[in-house]
Structure 1
Amino acid sequence: MWKLVVLLGVGMFVALMLGGEDKGQLRQGLVGVDPATSKVLRPPQVVETTPVEAVARVNFTPVTVQKTQYTGQAPITGSFVLSSVEAGTPTPQPVSLQSDAALPVMYINASAVNVRGGPSTDYGVVGRLTRDEAVAVVSPAQGGWVQIRIEGDGVDGFVAARLLTNIDPLD
């Protein structure tokens, strides 16, 4: 095996030394052309333009009303005209998030646990936890699965309820 590898290496080295050298050949059409008599291209002319002010114009008016094919709940109907677009910044609305301090903490009770994207093994794995790692419980067990948030990472996912315990391993 090693003899073949060495033979291959030597063969590649010899092939590159003999055939891999560029000897500066010229193409057939370039032989005998004097570089001083070749044509020189002029640079393209620069055309000056005037800046145009950008204006947003929106005017939408339906031309014909078509019958809807939707048979469920009542569809949105009526004529409307959007005659102008107002520029401005939206006012930010305060968001009330449940802090991690208020979430109950549970601990992993198995050697290795997959954190899944949904409450089933059909969902993909979004993280992995090992024994005695702490997790914050976002929602209680439903159908044998608990929604958790991995502390520090902020990753939300689902873990089987039987793999969690509320007993702190450090106590």
Structure 2
Amino acid sequence: MIRLGALMLATLAGLFLALSIWGDGNPRAERRPAADPQPAAQDPGTAPVPVPEQPTPVVVQAEDQTPQQVQRFPGPALRPSPEYGDRTPAPAPAAGDGPVLYVTGDRVNVRAGPSTGDRVVTSLRRGAAVAALEPTGAEWVNIRDAEGRSGYVASRFLSATAP
């Protein structure tokens, strides 16, 4: 263990010595160009040596540097999804269809038949008014919504009073 420590110490000392001899000093120091050179003292009979002028950097405006943003994939205008697009309740179904019932679940599926195994026709949000096409005493009620779509909804999600 002592040999390992001595070897590490000798390696670090050698590295330090090599860098101090052949290194360029502090690599993090800011490197600045030398100040304007002073002309050497000249003899009174000689012409002065002209000092070359440094070119002034060109300033480019930000508007010229930033490329114009182009919509790459133009398409139709965006529309809100049906469940969030219109927060106003749907109009009540036409009179004469049957008693008006209201959906009490947050989102209730309207199915093609009176079973959860039947396909979903649409879904209704809480408070949507529907017309019952058949008696409301069964487990499933045949309904028609305000847009004219008909299907079956479980009676536990329907109420005669608006939520």
Category of TM-score, reference length = shorter chain = 0.3 to 0.5
Q: Which has the larger radius of gyration?
A: 2
TM-score, normalised by the number of residues in structure 2: 0.40
TM normalised by structure 1 equals 0.39
Q: Which has the higher contact order (CA 8 A, sep 6+)?
A: 2
